[in-house]
C-alpha cells in the first residue's frame, strides 16, 4: 500500500509563487496541496483549520510577519513542521523565523527535487538548513555587537560527551535512526539525548541545535543537511 501523500500548506503573498510551488509538488508526486495563504493571519487560520503535515512559509508577509505567524501557529500546534522559503536579502526576518521555531530553511531558487527532499525531511522530523542560509544565519548570530541570538547562552560545557557527539551528528543532518545506527544505541536513547540537549541549551528545536553546533565548531555549514556526506542533501 503506497504511503499517504504529505499534506502541505503554502504561504506566500505572491499568488504566482504559491501556484508555482503547488504545481511543482504535484508534478513530483507524493504531496497534496491542501491550502494556500497570502498573509500571516491567513497562515495561522489555515494551519489551525487544515492541520497540514508541513507548512511552507515566506518570512516577509503582510499583516503578521512570517516569524509572528510561526509563533502563533506553534502556540496552538507545537508539533507543526514549518519550512521557511527565503532569499538572501531578508536575513533579519530569516533569523526571526528560526527564533520563532521554524524547523527548516531553504532558498527560494532551490531545485524542485531539493524542495521535495526538504519537505520529506521535515515530515520525518528532521531539520533542513540550506548551507548558504546556515552561513548567513550563523553570521547574524555570531557577528560582534549583534544582539540577535538564535541559540541559547553558552552552555556547551553542560553537555555530556555523548550528548556533544549526538549534537554534532544532528548538525550534520543525521536523523534519529541514522544516529542510533552510528552509535549502536536505540532510537529512543537518541530521542532522550536530543531532548536533554535542547533542555540544557535552552533551545526550541533541532534547527536551533544545528545553529548552536555550527557556532561551537561541531560542524561546518557545508555539512548541514548532508546526512553525513559532505554537501549532499538528505534523501
CATH class of 151-223: mainly alpha
pLDDT in tens, 23-74: 999 999 999 999 999 999 999 999 999 999 999 999 999 989 999 999 999 9
pLDDT in tens, 105-141: 998 888 999 999 999 999 988 888 887 787 777 776 6
Q: What is the pLDDT of residue 170?
A: 86
The percent of residues in the chain predicted with pLDDT above 90, rounded, is 49
Which CATH number does the domain 6-125 belong to among 3.90.105.10, 3.30.1540.20, 1.20.120.160, 3.40.50.2300?
3.40.50.2300
SS3 114: helix
Which contiguous run of DSSP H or E holds residue 35?
strand 31-37
Most confident of 23-27, 94-98, 143-147: 23-27
Answer yes or no: is pLDDT of 104 > 50.
yes
Over residues 218-233, the mean pLDDT reads 51
- The DSSP result for 185-202, as a single string, is S-HHHHHHHHHHHHHHHT
Amino acid at each position: 500500500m503506497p504511503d499517504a501523500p504529505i499534506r502541505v500548506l503554502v504561504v506566500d503573498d505572491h499568488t504566482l509563487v504559491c501556484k508555482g510551488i503547488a504545481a511543482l509538488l504535484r508534478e513530483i508526486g507524493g504531496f497534496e496541496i491542501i491550502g494556500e495563504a497570502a498573509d500571516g493571519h491567513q497562515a495561522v487560520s489555515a494551519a489551525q483549520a487544515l492541520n497540514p503535515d508541513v507548512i511552507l512559509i515566506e518570512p516577509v508577509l503582510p499583516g503578521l510577519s512570517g516569524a509572528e505567524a510561526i509563533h502563533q501557529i506553534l502556540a496552538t500546534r507545537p508539533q507543526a513542521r514549518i519550512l521557511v522559503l527565503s532569499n538572501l536579502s531578508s536575513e533579519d526576518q530569516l533569523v526571526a523565523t528560526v527564533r520563532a521555531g521554524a524547523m527548516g530553511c531553504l532558498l527560494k531558487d532551490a531545485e524542485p527535487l531539493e524542495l521535495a527532499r526538504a519537505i520529506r525531511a521535515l515530515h520525518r522530523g528532521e531539520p533542513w538548513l540550506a548551507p548558504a542560509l546556515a552561513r548567513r544565519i550563523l553570521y547574524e548570530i555570531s557577528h560582534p555587537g549583534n544582539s540577535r541570538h538564535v541559540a541559547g547562552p553558552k552552555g556547551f560545557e553542560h553537555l555530556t560527551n555523548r550528548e556533544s557527539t549526538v549534537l554534532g551528528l544532528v548538525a550534520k543532518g543525521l536523523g534519529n535512526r541514522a544516529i542510533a545506527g552510528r552509535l549502536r544505541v536505540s532510537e529512543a536513547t537518541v530521542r532522550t539525548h536530543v531532548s536533554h540537549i535542547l533542555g540544557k541549551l535552552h533551545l526550541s528545536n533541532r534547527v536551533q541545535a544545528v545553529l548552536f553546533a555550527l557556532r561551537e565548531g561541531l560542524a561546518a555549514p557545508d555539512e548541514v543537511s548532508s546526512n553525513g556526506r559532505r554537501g549532499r542533501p538528505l534523501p
